[in-house]
Structure 1
């Protein structure tokens, strides 16, 4: 079209060509199904991202409502929501050691998870590097890991009570012992998958072990190691709820069990939702961390 216009009017200035960066952006958006001139693909992408989760949650609420209609002892979504509004209006009240707001219980559980998980990371990640780096240590620790990894985390709770003589350290011990295995296994697996060519170059350059660790192993193993961390934090949050049910004290697990003893079913349902939301937030935080440290090839 521009050539025809130029032939009809030779004195007219040639039409400006689209800027390369704008054309590249348009092509990239078009490959994703989004166009700048038409809003339909963009609206369709938005609906595909939002509509399925909304429908899924709606189906869950519908099944919940049907269950409450057929069982008078089971609270309806409306009753549970009204109780949740009342509860979260003051989540940090204190009326005694066994009567505290749900906020204090969540913080107590997160504190135990942070301590147990932090200790597991401090021990498990370095041990995973050593097992993956040295075959002698791998042969030494692999049978122990294979033997102890399948054991249920709650089976370790009596050992913790016997050793520490207190419920709180025993719960932290249970988190530690269940969180350490994914970090050890994934870190060691990542070290063992480092290309041998990298290690050969390190030997030729006579790099020290510290240089090999910081320049070769750590950048290569980081994504795999963070996958183990993600698995460990999910397991730790599952374990703390069960451990607190058995040990008592302040915590979201003990709070659920205490509400069951009081036959307060709406509070139990609220606690289940809170546990799921907190676990989801922890998972998303570690996914974001893993993406930030994942190396991808340019142009992909």
Structure 2
């Protein structure tokens, strides 16, 4: 009797394959490139079109090449200070920002306080809301003569114009945010007997924070618009006066450079409020 001998099958041999090569910088730079490349391409295309259109004989605005040639020192050296009003753009922007930050801070404090009052009190809403709706329609520069008559100085007058311009969207958005606190939040606060400052800190402010920062974002943008216009009239060191002085000197290149500074600074102010809003709302929701 022959018995067939069985042998175990050999184990499969694992074949090692080289790991795929992954560039470590691809994932890190891709989101940045997606945000930077599209606007950069559009800006370059806009400059090329502007250069071509403004190079004709009948063009009024200077092309980018002439702006660079005329205002090269202003662009490359914004920190010079030759005394008086002969200063670089940095010092003009700094003076304007100081006025804006002071006036906007005052409007934020007063606007949030009044917004909380109007949002929680029906009597205050019925009494103050019609007044706010009338006053907020007054153009910012219409307040300048009254502020000059009251303060008799340019600096406090400009700060008051910023204050009165920025306060209305802060009040309105804060009041809307307080009135839109979900009823479930109020019921939970009533069940656990949450009252006083803790009720405001734990219930009202986290729910109203997105509305409040929307008002602050609108307010800071209006503040920057108002200060540029006000400085054209009150004079002194400031980006608004710089633009008006360049216009009186028929220096369009300096005006274009100043407008670029104004736009970039306004964008930075807006982004700062947005970032602060994200930090505060995330912190209040975590608590």
TM-score (norm. length: structure 2): 0.84
- Find runs of 4+ consecutive structure 1 residues off by over 4 angstroms: 36-39, 41-48
Higher CA-based Rg = 2
> Residue in 2 aligned with 1:27?
none
- Kindly report which structure 2 residues correspond to 1:2-81, keeping only aligned pairs within 5 A, or say none: 9=11, 48-70=34-56, 71=58, 73-81=60-68
- Kindly report which structure 2 residues correspond to 1:283-294, keeping only aligned pairs within 5 A, or say none: 283-294=270-281
User: Does the alignment pair 1:278 with 2:265?
Assistant: yes
Extract unaligned runs of 5+ from structure 1.
1-6, 16-35
> Residue in 1 aligned with 2:217?
230
Contact 2:206/2:281, CA 8 A, preserved across alignment: no
- Kindly report which structure 2 residues correspond to 1:82-231, keeping only aligned pairs within 5 A, or say none: 82-231=69-218
Displacement, 1:127? Answer: 1.1
Cα deviation code 1:178-217 (max 9, x no counterpart): 1001111111111111012222332343333212111111
In structure 2, distance between residues paired with 1:256 and 1:47: 34
> Residue in 2 aligned with 1:25?
none
Displacement, 1:167? Answer: 1.6
Counterparts in 2 of 1:194 and 1:95: CA distance versus 1, 3 Å: same
Of 54-63 and 90-99, deviating more is 90-99
In structure 1, distance between residues paired with 2:206 and 2:78: 42
> Residue in 1 aligned with 2:231?
244
Displacement, 1:133? Answer: 1.3
In structure 2, distance between residues paired with 1:188 and 1:135: 11
CA RMSD of aligned residues (A): 2.8
In structure 1, distance between residues paired with 2:33 and 2:143: 47
In structure 2, distance between residues paired with 1:225 and 1:104: 31
Pick from 241, 246, 259: which aligns with 2:246? 259
Displacement, 1:38? Answer: 9.4
> Residue in 2 aligned with 1:18?
none
Extract unaligned runs of 5+ from structure 2.
1-8
In structure 2, distance between residues paired with 1:269 and 1:230: 26
Of 50-59 and 273-282, deviating more is 50-59
In structure 1, distance between residues paired with 2:86 and 2:122: 53
